[in-house]
Every structure is written in structure tokens, then in C-alpha cells.
Amino acid sequence: MINIFTEKVKKITTNLNLKKTILLVLNASKGWLILSVVMILAETILFLGSIYALKILVDKISHINFSDKNSESEIIKYVIFAAALAIGYAVARAISAYIIEVQATKVAHHIDEKIHLTAISLELSYFESPDYYDVLSRAKEAGSDRPNLVITTMLEIAKNILNLAAVGSLIFTINWILLPLLIAFVLPTLFVRIYFANKQNLWRIKHTPLERKSAYLSNLLTADVSAKEIRVFGLGEYLNNLYKKIRVEVFERNLNLSYKRTLSEVLTTSLASMGFFACIGYIAVGTVRGTTSVGDIVLFLVIFPQSFTIIQNISSGISILYHNNIFINSIFELFDLKIEEKADEKYIDLPKDQGITLELKNVSFTYPHAINPTLKNISITIPEGKIIAIVGLNGAGKSTLIKLLCKLYKPNQGEITMGGTNINSFNELEYRSQISPVFQDFSKYNVTAEDNIRFGDISKPYSEDDIIDASKKSGAHAFVEKFPHQYKTMMGRLFEDGHEVSIGQWQKLAIARALFSSARILIFDEATSALDAVAEKELYDSFRKRISNRSAVIISHRHSAIKHADYIYVLSGGTILQHGTDEELLNMDGDYAKLFKTPNPSS
Ligand SMILES: Nc1ncnc2c1ncn2[C@@H]1O[C@H](COP(=O)(O)OP(=O)(O)OP(=O)(O)O)[C@@H](O)[C@H]1O
């Protein structure tokens, strides 16, 4: 699956993905999009009208009959008419800008939401792929405004094409030769912009990994999690130099492209200016010869800068479309992943009568991108209502096994069953609602203390008693009740009035979270590693009472945590070496006895 994804990423081309973008924006804000189109049409009509009114005004002034008493009032009428159109144009532009702003916000929210929904629905294995992070980082960058920018740019291009057609027809009324002359001089600007926009996009695709690396280093230098080590180990300067090296490399690679683009733009805009003066000369000579009017010169002087701006706008609009295309593609790439994953899956209900005994049958597993398997031919049973412990040295594969039990990864060989049915047959959410883990690298949520606990089952109706009950069982209640706002206290220091606690206290909140859930299987992966010896002993000595009749899987390096388990598996190098009760294993001459027979101070 990862390989398919990598292939898909490689296939990103610079083709414009306009149809999908339009549908996306229509989905987010149909009404506002229609309004934008209407306003753009109004703007164009008013723009044209105001310019043409100006030309008529100048012609009227230049042909004025000074003996005619009505001519003054007639001129004023034309001035008022031209002014009204110009004001109408200004108002239409302001309304358009407002509509576009509202539309942009709506689209940005819609896309952010879709990106989040897609990210949370992806299998964990996607997070193993650097390609995924490249696409995600581009999609996130694109998320807030780019699809809308593409639509507004398209509307702008459409508006400018309409304006150009209108302006072109006005130029045509002066003299037909001016139009092809102008196009010939201005067109190279357009081509140069499109060419370099395309080059810039290819450059961006190539450099996303480098950009991500520098963003990572920048984050390391500024984030709180790394602040302590950076100071203690004096890593600041070293990391900053690494960051600077990447920035300089990216800058230098981009410089060459920028240099070529600037040179080409200087040449093409000079050509356009030559065209302008050639036309001015042509009309000026025509006026002297009496073939063109003063109004024509005024019209041209107003129109030419306008038409030049319009053509510039069209070309920069096209370059914006290309420029944003890679980001838009990344968004669709991300959205498409979800559809691929979830299609055609049919689920069966969770077992009711058969119980929830979990069984791993000859399970083997290799991480995506890894060469060697982490788990080899593992068979373990977690009977309903029993406490099972898994023991092993660092890197033995214990946490990996937990990830498989949580259905975060699927085994490459063998199967995991619940109540005799392969867990792949169950709906993921439903299956996971039966499993409540405390991960080794549990999350510290910067929300209230009670929400830290409620996150164990957010669908459960709010009950303060249940929250406090779980909190007491985990040992968190003792410190939470001392907070000024008890369970309403904000945890962590990211937000105002936040209360930072020790790592052991965070861990107690994580345990309370797992206990709060109604899941029938609890998993404690090094869940008490930061607890003091007294707190850990208290927890495990009455563990059965605390978890009532639920099943549990405990992973720990401490004998005190596992000795009460009903059955213990010893894992080494991804295989089960030994299994039995604590007493049986201690009496065997194996790894378990070596680890735990000589009591250590913490056991
Ligand atoms: N995301 C990953 N991608 C590739 N390989 C991984 C990944 N996570 C772990 N591994 C590999 O799997 C092996 C087992 O890791 P695991 O975290 O399951 O060990 P563990 O028994 O829980 O160790 P510890 O006691 O240190 O927590 C590691 O040696 C590592 O090489």
C-alpha cells in the first residue's frame, strides 16, 4: 500500500486540476461562487462603460460648438454619466472583494476540515512514509487559501479576458493595425511567465524534502519539548548551523532560476514598452494627418496601460494557477488516500455470545520500509477477564505487538481473532472501542483535567462521578483535587491559566483516561514507568479491583507490575521464548528468572 502511495506521489504532474478544484469550491460555497461570477460580469460592463464614456466626453469637448448655449449642460451630462459609471465600477469592485473574502474563508474552513478528517482516518502505516509527510506538508500549506485562490484567479482571468476583448474592440475602433501590433509585442511576456511558473513548480516538488528538513530543524530550535536538551547539551549553534546550511543551499539553487526569470522578464517588458511607443507614434502621426481624433489619443493613453495591465494580470493569473497547482494536487492526493482505503470494506458485528478472548495465531509482522520482521510467528492468548503480562528486553517487539492488537497495523502473516473472528472483519471504530490503551508515549492534552480523562470515551454521557472514579483508581485524584479549579483546571502550559504537572502525574491522567473507558480490554504499555515506587505498588497490588472484570495486557520491566498477572509471555527478538505463570517462570532456568530472580530495588 505504501508503495502504491509512493508511486502516486511520483506521478504528480503539473497538469492543471481545475475541474476537481471547481467542484471542491462549489461544495464549500456554491452561493458565494455564483455571486462572485455575477459581480465580475457587472465589474466588466461598468469598466468598459466608464472608459468609453470618457472617450465620448473627450470627443464632445474637442468638437464643442462655443456658440451653442446647450453645449455646456450637455458636457456636464456626459461628465455626470462618466462619473456615475466610474463610481459604479468602484462600488462593484469593493463588493466583489468582500464576496471573495467571505468565499475564501468558507473554502479555507471546508478544506482544513477535510484535511483533518482525512489525516485522522489514515492508517498509521502512512505515517511511516516520508512521501506522505511531503504531501501532507504541501497539502497543509495549501489548505487555508489555495483552492479558493485558484478559483478567484480563474475568475480574474475570465474577467481580464472579457476586459481584454472589450479593450481590444475599443483599440480596433481607433485603427485595426494597433491590435495585432500590441499583441505581438506583449505576448512574449505571457509566455515567459508561464514557462517560469512551470519551472518553479517542478523545482518546488524536488525541494519539498529539503524544505521539510529545515522546517523540522526550525521547530527543534523553537519548540518547548527540545528546549531543555538543546540548552544542556549546547546543541543550539550546531542545529542552527545545520538549518542555515539548508537554507543557503535552497537559496542558491533557487537563485539561478530567479536570475534567468528576471533577465527574460526585463527583455519581454522592454519589448512591450517599445510596442506601446510604436503605437503612440502611429496615432500621433495619424492625428497630425487628421485620420485619428484627440479622443482617440486619450482613449489609447487610457486603454494601453489598462490593456497592458490586463495582459500582465492574465499572465500572472496563469502563473498563479500553475504555481498553486502542485499544492492543490497534494490536497487531492491526500483526499484520495481515504477513498482508496475505505472502499469495499464490509464489516460484521462484534462478538456478543462468543466473548472477547483475543488470540494471536502465528502472527508475523514487518514494518513498512523495514527489511527484517519485528514479530515472528507469535501465538498468544488473552482470555476474557484475565491479566496477561508481556516481558522482554528493549526492542523485543512488545510495543509493536500492542499496535497490532489496537489494529493500528495489520499482521503480514497469521491472524488476530476476537471471540474466534478475525479482527479485520470488524469495523475499526467498533473494535477499538473494546480496547483502551495507555501507550508508552501517551499524549499530554493541553485541555482541562476532566477532558484529559473523558478523552478515554468521548461518546459517553458526561458524568463527574465516573471521571472522579477513574481518577481515584489511577491515583490522579490526589493532585487534581488540589488544583484551584479541580477538574476544570487547564493542563499544560500552552494556554492561559494552564497548569503544568510532572511526567508521573501526566501518566496518572493517561491511566485514568484508559480506566474511564468502558472498553473490555485494557492495555498498559510501560504505563507506570514514571510513577514512584509507592504509587506503582498501590496500583498493581489492587489492580484486579481497579479494572473490575476486564481483561488486561501489561507490559513492564518491573517485576512488581507483572507478578500478579495470570499468565506471562517472554518476548525476545520478536519471538516468544517462554510462557507461564510468575511462579513457573521463576522456577525455569530462563530469561525470566535471569531478569527477576535477583530482586532489584524497584521490584
Ligand atoms: N515505526 C517503526 N518502523 C520501523 N521499525 C520499527 C518501528 N518501530 C519499531 N521498530 C522496530 O521494531 C523493533 C521493536 O520495537 P518495539 O517498540 O516493539 O520494542 P519494545 O519491545 O517495545 O522495546 P522497549 O522495551 O524499548 O519499549 C525495534 O527494534 C525497531 O527496530
What is the value of ipTM here, to two decimals? Answer: 0.97
Q: How far, in Å, from the CA of 379 to the mean position of ligand 1?
A: 18
Q: How far, in Å, from the CA of 350 to the mean position of ligand 1?
A: 30
Atom 7 (ligand 1): residue with closest C-alpha?
367
592 burial class (0-12, 13-18, 19+ CB within 10 angstroms)?
buried
Mean pLDDT: which of 34-38, 119-123, 167-171 is highest?
34-38
Which region among 202-211, 217-226, 331-340 has the lowest average model confidence (pLDDT)?
331-340
Under the banding of pLDDT at 50, 70 and 90, the label for residue 328 is confident
pLDDT of amino acid 602: 46
What is the distance, to the nearest Å, from the Cα of residue 312 to the centroid of all Cα atoms in its chain? 32
pLDDT of amino acid 567: 94
pLDDT of amino acid 345: 60
Local structure of residue 499 (DSSP, 8 states):
B
The pLDDT tens digits for 183-193 are 787 778 778 87
Q: How far, in Å, from the CA of 19 to the mean position of ligand 1?
A: 44
Local structure of residue 82 (DSSP, 8 states):
H
Ligand 1 pocket test, pick from 2, 132, 133, 367 with the greatest ligand atom count within 8 Å of Cβ, gives 367
What is the mean predicted confidence (pLDDT) over 102-110?
A: 82
The pLDDT tens digits for 517-530 are 989 999 999 888 88
Q: How far, in Å, from the CA of 578 to the mean position of ligand 1?
A: 20
Q: Is the pTM of this model over 0.80?
A: no
Q: Mean pLDDT over all residues of the chain? A: 82
Alpha helix ranges (H) inside 175-235? 178-222, 224-232
The pLDDT tens digits for 394-423 are 889 999 999 999 988 889 999 999 988 899
Coil, helix or strand at residue 490: strand
**Cell numbers standing for residue 77:** 451630462
Q: Inform me whether the pLDDT recorded for 600 exceeds 60.
A: no
Q: Inform me whether the pLDDT recorded for 337 exceeds 70.
A: no
Domains of the chain and CATH, by start: 2-342 (1.20.1560.10), 346-434+519-598 (3.40.50.300), 442-518 (3.40.50.300)
Which region among 60-74, 303-317, 328-342 has the lowest average model confidence (pLDDT)?
328-342
Ligand 1 pocket test, pick from 364, 369, 398 with the greatest ligand atom count within 8 Å of Cβ, gives 398
Q: How far, in Å, from the CA of 191 to the mean position of ligand 1?
A: 53
Ligand 1: residues with CB < 6 A are: 128, 367, 370, 374, 392, 394-400, 440
pLDDT of amino acid 528: 87
Written as one letter, the residue type at 138 is R
More confidently predicted of 166 and 219: 219
